[in-house]
Amino acid sequence: MLTAGVDLAAENKGTALAVIEWSGARATLAELTLGVGDAAIADAATAVDKLGIDCAFGWPDEFVSFVVANADHESVDGLEVDGGMDWRRTLAYRETDREVRAKTGRWPLSVSTDRLGLTAMRCAGLLGRIQARGVEVDRSGAGVVVEIYPGASLRLWGFDTTGYRVGATARELLLAQILDAAPWLDLQGSADLMVRSGDAFDAVIAALASRSAALGHYDAPAPEQLARARREGWTALPTAPLSALHPA
């Protein structure tokens, strides 16, 4: 099996791609690249069994409806706008975001109100490019492409993620803990790059979490959530420990 992970940013700078080959008793980091463009990611989607992207795949249904209605001046009077926090959260967060908070105790970034928006715009185009390559995209994660949240995956695997996105020292400590828990993971000399770059680090974690999704070790949307997940996207949160990814 080949799994890939993408730490997506609004531009190529800040975007990283990792590919892990799962064979025998080893999981080998076959590729780790920084400054990755859409074409390279779309190419990877055609070559791997699962591609995990760290970005929201869509926007909340309520937000989409609100923007469309607000654009039609004749519909403004009919909008149910109270401005309160509960109402705003229906526009800010997707169904899967509420599931993430319930399982991790933290809200993910809001795709409609936070800095994630520009990256999500790129992701929407990227998913279109992947589909144009003949890879069917199911935003619920049922196909090759799946939405991944590296920080939440690490926390659900039992790791302390404090400061790892902003500090090399925290990443070095966290990586040592990951390798202790996963001695079968061969980074092929890329540990230093993961310590230097939080983008590279998260791409590798996304590739690991993609393996979890490929094996079915994640909370898929319930039947009543599926249609919404196919519009908004769905974060594949691991439900089994990191050791369950062992290829042997």
C-alpha span between 20 and 1 (Å, rounded) = 8
Cα–Cα distance, 230 to 138 (Å, whole number): 6
- Has residue 81 got a pLDDT over 70? no
The pLDDT tens digits of the residues spanning 218-241 come to: 999 999 999 999 999 999 999 999
What pLDDT is recorded for position 102? 95
The angle at the Cα of 81, spanning 79 to 85, to the nearest 5 degrees, equals 150
Write down the H helix ranges in 85-197: 85-92, 95-104, 116-132, 150-156, 168-181, 191-196
Q: What DSSP state is assigned to residue 4?
A: E
Confidence category of residue 76, pLDDT binned at 50, 70, 90: low
Please list, in sequence order, all residues whose beta carbon lies within 8 angstroms of the beta carbon of residue 20, skipping any fewer than 6 positions away.
2, 3, 4, 5, 27, 28, 29, 30, 204, 207, 208, 211
Dihedral sign from CA coordinates of 68, 70, 74, 78: positive
Does residue 3 surpass a pLDDT of 70?
yes
Question: What's the confidence (pLDDT) of residue 248?
Answer: 64
Rounded to whole angstroms, the Cα distance separating 219 from 213 reads 9
Q: Per the structure block, which two tokens stand in for 93?
A: 């967060």
Burial (Cβ within 10 Å: 0-12, 13-18, ≥19) of residue 30: middle
- Among 9-18, 110-119, 135-144, 177-186, the range scoring the smallest mean pLDDT is 110-119
The mean per-residue pLDDT over the stretch 164-193 comes to 97
The pLDDT confidence band at residue 176, using thresholds 50, 70 and 90, is very high
The pLDDT value given to residue 73: 67
Q: Is the pLDDT of residue 12 over 60?
A: yes
pLDDT greater than 90 at residue 153: yes
H helix runs in 133-241, sequence order: 150-156, 168-181, 191-196, 198-214, 226-232
